[in-house]
Structure 1
Amino acid sequence: MADPSPLPAADLVVVGASFAGAACAIAAAQRGLRVCVLERKRDPGEKLRTTGIIVKEAAERTLLNRLPSRMTRQVEEVRLYAPSLKQVALAAPGYYFLTTDTPAVMRWLAEQMRANGVDLRLGAAFNACERSGDGWRVDGVGTTRFLVGADGARSRVARRCGLGEVRQFLYGIEYEFPGAVLARPEALHCFISKRYAPGYIGWIAQSPTGIQAGLALRHDPAHARAPDIDGFLLRAGRAGGLPRHLRPGHTRAGLIPCSGPVFDMARDRAILVGDAAGIVSPVTAGGIHSAWEHGWAVGRAIAAHLRDGAPPPEQVAVEAAPRFRAKRALRWAYDRLQFDWPFDLLLHSPPLRWAAERVYFHKRGSQGSGELDHPRRRN
């Protein structure tokens, strides 16, 4: 007699092979689940939309602590620039960031998935799905017990499964300058400017392969404004130590969620993680650490549910999502109260330093080096 309940093609299908998707897939595969990952790009390192800057917590407490040293560069200082280009240096004892050779990191993540038994399918786009029994039928794969969308800010999984969607965004653009070296490569240079980056900042940093420089601004579909990155670099490049007459190599660009976790991120065995779930800091737009932790928690929860009869992972996904309450309040204030003159006036004041410490160093005390000369006064 034919089996009336044939096994599904996979226990879990993950759409998207970036940080959140990789974390979810590896966590589930390590518990013995049959995991399939669909990634529309044939090369996971191409057409990236992330700066690839990793905070200390992610570098030390996740699988990312195994990244080969050639793919990372440690940065221990933040130089914060007011619109006038006055600057202050900030640091926290023992704290650092890692800039990365991001294309190499994404290819390394693909290797880690396969090493853990994940069926990674590159060049395989997610097109459609439909409910099938207690799970989902995914085009090109077959049936699966769970479906996870790690497919970015404009998630197809969210639309196809009727889940919540991100509604508020920043739009960011970044240039890469291969082989170039900053005058001060030891710092992450961050620029406040309502003219060039309303609602966010500009940045310049040394990576293992060169220099990355970019900016982001609040995205308003009704009044779309293209970021003037060339004007920004003409204005801020010298202050940030950017060599003259550079030509960019690759350009990264894309939407960044900035309103916190979406409502209805998990239902009926479909779950969103990463940018698709809005798991991105509303203030810093940093998402690698929180996306990894949330993706890992969801992968483990799915495995625990299927293997051990643990509670539904949809509940775990919602409870494990960071709320960003304070940062959402800061985002609201920054969107409505951003002016250049307070930053010029208060750059070295205790209140602004206090706020910067919490944004960049996650509530750690900083060791400010005091006021620095205006860059245009240097010889």
Structure 2
Amino acid sequence: MSGRSRAGGWPYPGSALTSQVVRVDVLVVGAGLAGLHTARRLAERDLSVLVVERRRSLTAGIRTTGIFVRRTLDDFSLPDHLLGPGIRDVLLYPPSRRSPIRLTSDRDEYRVADMAAVYEHARRAAEVAGVRVMLGVRYAGASHDSPATHLLIGAEPVSARFLIGADGARSRVARDLGLDVNRRFLVGAELVHPVASGRNTPAFHCVLDPRVAPGYLAWVIDDGRHAHVGVAGYPSVMRAGVRHLLDAFAADAPGRTAPAGPIERRGGPIPVGGVLRRLASPAGLLVGDAAGAVSPLTAGGLDPCLRLSELAASVTADFLRTGDQHELRRYDGGGLRSHFSGRLLLRRAYAAVRSPGAAEAAVALLRNRAGRAMAARVLFGDRSFPDVTTHPVPVGRNSGT
């Protein structure tokens, strides 16, 4: 495909298409974990798939912490060499930072991945399956052809039978398809740095303090290799700005460890309104953050990203094979939302905790047996999303390759 710049007369929706049109079954916009996993699963079903990503490198602009929970590790075969040591201890702090609640599991509950390497691994696996991945290509909309011709900046236009939006929390594809869009967000920021090995026992430190993270929490997760120090909250209440709050928190965060190498900054919006109700149409569907596939309470997105991608690939393949629009009903966001209605209520309740005193009281309620059991259920068993697999599914290639 030859490149074209906008200044060079790239055709936009409604203009004449003067370039050669590339034809594929499915165009996936976004080469994050959701987009690449969905694309690979479609290619394995003998569909022609093109993935476009506006970033020129998958190692740039990473936004996720990369925390994989036990459910994901159990149900998906992630490459073991790209995962850090297991973490079993969670310490939950009130705003005073005194007397944290320690929760300890008898199993590894979290492992932090090298996400840059995970993305590259997923890209290679998708390409092995037959997916074409193009970086540095921006999606610019669609014409009114049937099937639609999707216009790209940096490549020839693509005529696709189906369009999949994996383009993040503020999805352009969702708007073009007339599907629902995310409206409730947290904004997060994080510092990541290597630490001296053997200095600390791997642990996940969580601080509930609305002065630092209004409506969410601040965290330090140290697996003995890297430390991730972060904050997140509702932007409308973060008067000082998320970066200022992050730097202030990092200066005296619990469990912090001095950097043993360069510091990386990450950040971005986190949709917490739950899976969107209208996720699919005969023209396309949404996956990942674009679909709101993030736990509304814990804001974890990697597990639902993979689960929803599995379902999306199955629904898309069956719909394109049969042409039966009833297949799309399996991808109904309204039905999926029923799995986490309780967590949506807890999200609203926690968002109402605006003072340090109220946060201290909320943590105090968790110190008894019932409170600790509820906290452990959330932190060690987030079952917000449905199981769509019955055996381990490889993410990229099989584990360890």
Work out whether the TM-score is over 0.5.
Answer: yes
How far the C-alpha of 1:135 sits from its partner, in A, is: 4.4
Verify: 1:121 aligned to 2:146, yes or no: no
DSSP-derived class of the 1:152 partner = coil
Partners of 1:45 and 1:103 within 8 A in 2: yes
Verify: 1:275 aligned to 2:294, yes or no: no
2: CA distance between counterparts of 1:231 and 1:108? 35
Partner of 1:174: 190
1: CA distance between counterparts of 2:363 and 2:238? 30
1: CA distance between counterparts of 2:67 and 2:302? 8
How far the C-alpha of 1:61 sits from its partner, in A, is: 1.3
1: CA distance between counterparts of 2:382 and 2:25? 40
Deviation per CA, 1:227-282: give whole Å up to 9, x if none. Answer: 5112112232xx31x23477861100100001112232222322111111111011
Verify: 1:191 aligned to 2:207, yes or no: yes
How far the C-alpha of 1:93 sits from its partner, in A, is: 3.5
2: CA distance between counterparts of 1:37 and 1:224? 38
DSSP-derived class of the 1:298 partner = helix
2: CA distance between counterparts of 1:10 and 1:313? 21
Partner of 1:371: none
Partners of 1:357 and 1:363 within 8 A in 2: no
Query: Structure 2: which amino acid aligns with 1:318?
Result: D
What percentage of residue pairs aligned between the two structures are identical?
Answer: 32
DSSP-derived class of the 1:199 partner = coil
Alpha carbons of structure 1 residues 211 and 221: separation in structure 2 relative to 1, 3 Å: closer
Partners of 2:274 and 2:294 within 8 A in 1: yes
Partner of 2:234: 218
Alpha carbons of structure 1 residues 231 and 181: separation in structure 2 relative to 1, 3 Å: farther
Deviation per CA, 1:294-331: give whole Å up to 9, x if none. Answer: 11211121112223556545322225745421110000
How far the C-alpha of 1:131 sits from its partner, in A, is: 3.4
Partners of 1:83 and 1:343 within 8 A in 2: no
DSSP-derived class of the 1:127 partner = strand
Verify: 1:13 aligned to 2:27, yes or no: yes
Deviation per CA, 1:118-149: give whole Å up to 9, x if none. Answer: 11111111111133224453433421111010
How far the C-alpha of 1:14 sits from its partner, in A, is: 0.7
2: CA distance between counterparts of 1:204 and 1:16? 29
Aligned length: 354
Partner of 1:103: 116
Partner of 2:387: none
TM-score by length of 1: 0.85
How far the C-alpha of 1:186 sits from its partner, in A, is: 1.9
Query: Structure 1: which amino acid aligns with 2:248?
Result: G
Verify: 1:314 aligned to 2:317, yes or no: no
Residue segments in structure 1 that go unaligned for 5+ positions in a row: 1-6, 365-379
Partner of 2:69: 55
Alpha carbons of structure 1 residues 151 and 221: separation in structure 2 relative to 1, 3 Å: farther
Partner of 1:348: 367
TM-score by length of 2: 0.81
Residue segments in structure 2 that go unaligned for 5+ positions in a row: 1-20, 384-401
Alpha carbons of structure 1 residues 54 and 131: separation in structure 2 relative to 1, 3 Å: farther
1: CA distance between counterparts of 2:325 and 2:223? 42
Q: Which range moved further: 90-99 or 187-196? A: 90-99
Within-5 A mapping of 1:1-379? 9-62=23-76, 65-85=77-97, 86-139=99-152, 140-181=156-197, 183-207=199-223, 209-220=225-236, 225-227=241-243, 228-236=245-253, 239-240=254-255, 242-244=256-258, 249-308=263-322, 311-318=325-332, 321-323=336-338, 324-338=340-354, 339-362=358-381
Over the aligned positions, Cα root-mean-square deviation in angstroms equals: 2.6
Q: Which range moved further: 321-330 or 148-157? A: 321-330
How far the C-alpha of 1:185 sits from its partner, in A, is: 3.5
